[in-house]
Amino acid sequence: MKNTIFTGAATALITPMRGGEVDYETLGRLLDWQLESGIDAIVSVGTTGEGPTLTDEEHRDVIKYTVDRVAGRVPVIAGTGSNDTAYAIDLTRFSCEVGADAMLLVSPYYNKATQKGLIASFNAVADASTKPCILYNVPSRTGCNILPSTVAELAKHENIVAIKEAGGNISQVAQIAALCGDSIDIYSGNDDQIVPIMSLGGKGVISVLSNVMPKETVALCRAYLDGDVRLACEMQLKYLSLIDALFCEVNPIPVKAAMAAMGFGENSLRLPLTSMEPANEEKLLNIMRMHGLID
């Protein structure tokens, strides 16, 4: 059995921006609030953090700022995956050097890869890492599915310890659990599937929802881990409409609007992402009011 990076809820954190630039003042406040709310881990510069449109310097600066601000209170997981394996290796080495606790490695996108290529690429990055690595399977974005047999092969690497499964296919999650057993931890990458994936042995969630509801997302995971499955199911269903609203347009478009409404920076994104359609934003804000997140 490999060491578990975290159990419970990790926030796939937004990268606040102001005037098109990274807003470090708001990022600091947001990190402090997440920690005060009891979050179990922070993911820096993943999909939700707009990693694809940050410059190389910004990407590194946000990771280092996050590590320094969190100061060891919870694990910081750096998004270092890329469709360029050499770049992923370079960013992974940097993140290890500045003190990130783990790496999140998305499968190569656009150029994609065969399963053989995925194994070679992920192993190369893991070889370069001095910290544990989490595979990130999100085929709707990458066009590339990490098959369960591939996960099982990758789990043989001592540094590959977990997978964030955002494929939406519960059967595939079950196959991973059956093939890998204790050799890899599974995290839900979809907020509407936290309880289903934990029921198959998942350790928690890497969450978008917890940007706006860190306490509640942690409590949902805690309820399941403490054996109160009924309460966990009730919470999963209670927040379903909010989760749906947070994904009614491409992530992180809705959650950026939500965080701005809560006072965490501007509703600012980088192209090709644009602000929400007015009707969708009105629906999101109304649901947030129902949950008492905004006035």
Domain limits for position 119: 8-227
Q: What is the pLDDT of residues 75-117, one digit of tens each?
A: 999 999 999 999 999 999 999 999 999 999 999 999 999 999 9
Residue 185 burial by CB count (10 A; 0-12/13-18/19+): exposed, middle or buried? Answer: buried
Instruction: Supply the pLDDT for residue 71.
Output: 97
Task: Reduce the DSSP state of residue 181 to 3 states and report it.
Answer: helix
The yes-or-no verdict on residue 56 having pLDDT over 80 is yes
> How far apart are the C-alpha atoms of 190 and 208, rounded to whole Å?
8
Q: Is the pTM higher than 0.85?
A: yes
* Peptide bond just before 272 cis, omega within 30 deg: yes
Closest C-alpha among 103, 91, 164 to residue 133: 103
Active site residues: 136, 164
Query: Do the domain assignments include residue 264?
Result: no
Query: CATH number for the domain including 48?
Result: 3.20.20.70
The per-residue pLDDT for 223 is 98
Q: CB neighbours of 96 closer than 8 A, spacing ≥ 6?
A: 103, 129, 130, 131
Tally of domains in the chain? 1
Domain annotation covers residue 288: no
236 in any annotated domain: no
Q: Residue 2 — pLDDT band, cuts 50, 70, 90? A: confident
Structure tokens at 104: 């999140």
Residue 268 inside a domain? The answer is: no
Q: Is residue 165 included in any domain, yes or no? A: yes
Length of the chain: 295
Q: What is the pLDDT of residues 8-48, one digit of tens each?
A: 999 999 999 999 899 999 999 999 999 999 999 999 999 99
Summarize pLDDT for 209-237 with one digit per residue, the tens.
Answer: 999 999 999 999 999 999 999 999 999 99
Question: Which stretch of DSSP H or E encloses residue 197?
Answer: helix 194-198
- Collapsing DSSP to helix, strand or coil, 43 comes out as strand
* Residue 239 resides in a domain: no
- 42 found inside a domain: yes
Cα separation, 36 vs 166, whole angstroms: 27
The pLDDT tens digits for 150-208 are 999 999 999 999 999 999 999 999 999 999 999 999 999 999 999 999 999 999 999 99
Q: What is the pLDDT of residues 264-278, one digit of tens each?
A: 999 999 999 999 999
Give the pLDDT score at 109.
94
Q: Give the mean pLDDT of 119-129.
A: 98
Per-residue pLDDT averaged across 133-142, rounded? 96
| Lookup: tokens for 161 | 């310890």
pLDDT at 1: 73
